[in-house]
Amino acid sequence: MTAQPLAIAPILLVADLAASLDYWRDKVGFEALTFEQAPHFAIVKRGGARLMLQEVAPGTAITPNWKLHEKTSNAFVWIDDAKALYEELIERGANIDWELYEAPYGALEFGIQDLDDHDIAFSQLLD
């Protein structure tokens, strides 16, 4: 038997880690994991989803994927109830980037932007 991946966590570069952690906690409902030995790094999690946040030096340019290639997110999160999460994130005040819609590949999805303009897609497969 060969080793199998258990999960994957995209790394998002951020200008201000503290502000990003506040956004992910308050606006997106993710829990923050911080590390004393790595003060410019954190992990945010909700359910089985994980994102790593790495703070960059002041003045460092951060270029989200969509600025390099149209309609390309920095992270794509599969979820079990897109409508419920969409409504929750609107209520929390998250930066909704694109509204809930049915994608041509059989998924219900929407997107948000974080404080550094990264697009994060949330998608539910429609069986």
**Domain at 11-125: CATH architecture:** Roll (3.10)
Domain regions of the chain by residue span: 11-125
Instruction: Find out whether 109 and 123 touch, Cβ atoms under 8 Å.
Output: yes
pLDDT of residue 68: 94
pTM score: 0.93
Q: Which of 86, 85, 90 is nearest to 100 (CA)?
A: 86
Tokens encoding 96: 């909704």
Buried b (16+ CB within 10 A) or exposed e, 35-72: eeeeeebbbbebeebbbebebeeeeeeeebebeeeeee
**DSSP label at residue 62:** -
**Over the stretch 72-121, which tens digit does the pLDDT of each residue have?**
999 999 999 999 999 999 999 999 999 999 999 999 999 999 999 999 99
Average pLDDT, the chain: 96
